[in-house]
Amino acid sequence: MVTEGDDAPEFTAPLATGDIESFTLSERIEDGPIVLAFFPGAFTSVCTGEMRTFRDRIDEFAGEAAVYGVSTDPPFALNEFRDQEDLPFDLVSDVTGEVSEAYGVAMDLAGLDVPGVETGEASVAERAVFVVDGDGTVSYAWVGDHPGKEPDYDAVADAAEAA
């Protein structure tokens, strides 16, 4: 897993903005720190609650860091989720699972005993938050120890401000 002090793994992935664009980490950090909030799946109860909390607390990040949700859902689904939840930030579609793998937060669905899914066939992102400073260094890293655990939003806001 990526930890504090590590260089943030570079990636390019689809970005759900209401449309579908491209997100490249190194291009985005030129504008300042970034919060990458990984979540297992759009439209699920805990994930929806987490993204709503970031939505409701977005003013704490304004001027400090840009917030991006990251999920293995396809960009079309993320656009609908973004629209339904009125999210004021964009969502990165890690549809290949490569971003979750690079950050060490890919969770094998077979490990969750999902019917019909064999080991290594499909994965989702664990719930995790990384703050990446303007130099591309991870200044904050948190990974939930079970799927229902949410991050300490105050700690994330403090890390974003410090970055």
Catalytic residues: 47
Q: How far is CA 116 from CA 68, 122, 125, in A?
A: 31, 11, 19
Q: In what order do the strands lie in the sheet with 34-38?
A: 20-24, 12-16, 90-93, 66-71, 34-38, 128-132, 138-143
Q: Tokens at residue 120, please?
A: 């290594």
Pairing of strands 20-24, 12-16: antiparallel
Strand partners of residue 153: none
Q: How far apart are the first and last CA of the chain?
A: 20
